[in-house]
Structure 1
Amino acid sequence: MTNINLDNFSQAAQSGSQYVLAPLPYSDTALQPVISSNTLSFHYGKHHKTYVDNLNNLLANSDLAGQSLEQIIKATAGQTEKAAIFNNAAQVWNHMFYWHSLKPNGGGEPSSTLKQKIEASFGSLEVCKKEFAQAALTQFGSGWAWLVQDGDKIALVKTGNAETPLTKNVRPLLTIDVWEHAYYLDYQNRRADYANAILEKLINWDFAAANLG
């Protein structure tokens, strides 16, 4: 997984001019007990797939068809008349990024280079994780909490609904999905427990390190 990064990971979502449901980087039981196979089945097999299907329908006979997800997201961001295309393309991309932000037996500590950058920005890895969990908890309504690289700094940002750091001139490293469908079957309203469990047991620091610019 360490060779998958921002430069190539979304290629798996394309097949010619069509967009496809890219395979998960692990089995549907691999994230248990933090994320159940039941949640993964609905989240990946229903929600993520619906965004892919919607995007294909919206882009039929469009000059955007066949472009990368990143190109579509940047071309449609902030354009009211193309909001549906943006929302579905961004959600396909966001979900793919989320799946790779997790790994079985994750957590622990990042590589030395990333850890040093985190410590320079936050003071310690523990403070970074605490603030990451807080960002996930305090994102109002549906959305995402992101660890990003902003120049020489490592920072946290929150985005609502389908918004993504790709449009904000920062480089995403990791994300936690805080749409209710990501955790409600397993955690009900305990979003904080979900976020903390991901950070302790599933977060993929190797993916974050590979995404450093």
Structure 2
Amino acid sequence: MNRRQSLRLIAGAVGAIAAGGLSRSVAFAQTAPAQPAGPFKLPPLGYAFSALEPHIDAQTMEIHHDRHHAAYVNNANQLAARWPELGKMPIEQILSDLSKVPDAIRTGVRNNVGGDWNHTFFWELMTPGGAREPSGDLKAAIDSAFGGTKEMMDKVNAAGGGRFGSGWAWLVVDKDKKLDVISTANQDTPLELGAKPVLGVDVWEHAYYLKYQNRRADYLKAWWNTVNWDKAAANYKTAKG
């Protein structure tokens, strides 16, 4: 093999590697969620899609985060293009008083900005291998309000199981600074009710149907194994002021 042939061989190998790398990049780009232009961004999940198995399966987590949540973010950015103030105000301020949102986009903001906020809260509230129960001030408050952690869980599960159609079940600090359990429809948030959430569970079918089908009660029972009680305690501290 002469020098010219050697150079051709090397050039061909480099080209093949480059082409392979390019094709892999394109393939990844087709599956990774694109960050839309606008003030709203899809937050990273913070853990692997499979991290919450066997309680929540990887495929559900991927579809839920990369498609459903991403759709809310995309739609919120489209609304912000129509009403720029939407991207300048804190989300909590907007969702606490939707009457300030123009009539033409109010429903869209409720559904999509609410969906973005709810899901961001939801991802942060779950973690692989976390503590199995609350402690400290949150534990004391739960015991005082409900008689124990199991009783509180049962009440949240009942609220989630009893939600007709799609929505959420929440443990909140209400206007009187007391713990309560509520449920909201669709992507409504507790903020509009003057409540501050400590924890919340998504009971839309896309949150559980691949694994649990119509067995929402089984999903709710399993979900407690994923709760990040440290985050819930921080939420409680913030909610109490």
**Class of the TM-score when normalised by the shorter of the 2 chains:** 0.7 to 0.9
Amino acid at match of 2:199: L
Is the Cα–Cα contact under 8 Å of residues 17 and 67 in structure 1 kept in the other structure? no
User: Per residue, is there more helix in 1 or in 2?
Assistant: 2
Cα distance per residue 1:33-54 (max 9 Å; x no partner): 1111100111000000000001
Tell me the equivalent position of 2:19.
Answer: none
CA-CA distance at 1:112 after TM superposition: 1.8
- Residue 72 (str. 1) matches residue 97 (str. 2): no
Q: CA deviation at 1:125?
A: 1.1
| CA drift at 1:101 | 1.7
Pick aligned residue for 2:157 from 133, 149, 152: 133
For residues 89 and 116 of structure 1, do their structure 2 counterparts lie closer, same or farther at Cα, with a shift above 3 Å needed?
Answer: same
TM-score normalised to the size of structure 1?
0.87
Secondary structure of 2:109's partner?
helix
Contact 1:172–1:211 (Cα < 8 Å) also in 2: yes
Matched to 1:164, the amino acid is T
- Partner SS, residue 144 of structure 1: strand
1:160 counterpart letter in structure 2:
A
TM-aligned CA deviation for residue 152 of structure 1: 3.8
Displacement, 1:206?
Answer: 1.2
Structure 2 residue aligned with 1:22: 43
> Which of 142, 147, 151 is the matching residue for 1:123?
147
Shift of 1:210: 0.2
1:53-103 Cα distance to aligned partner (Å, 9 max, x none)? 011011104232232222332343596531112210000000111111211
Larger RCO (alpha carbons 8 Å, 6+ apart):
1
1-side partners of 2:38 and 2:214: how far apart? 39
When the two structures are aligned, how many residues end up with a matched partner? Answer: 199
What is the rounded CA distance, in whole Å, between the counterparts of 1:28 and 1:96 in structure 2? 15
Distance 1:206 1:77, change over 3 A: farther
Letter in 2 for 1:115: K
Matches within 5 A, 1:93-112: 93-106=117-130, 108-112=132-136
User: Alignment RMSD, CA only?
Assistant: 2.0
Match of 1:4 in 2: none
- Given that 2:38 and 2:80 are in contact with CA atoms closer than 8 Å, whether structure 1 keeps it comes out as no
Between structure 1 and structure 2, the one with the greater Rg is 2
Question: Gapped runs of 5+ residues in structure 1?
Answer: 1-13
CA–CA distance in 2 between the matches of 1:67 and 1:123? Answer: 39
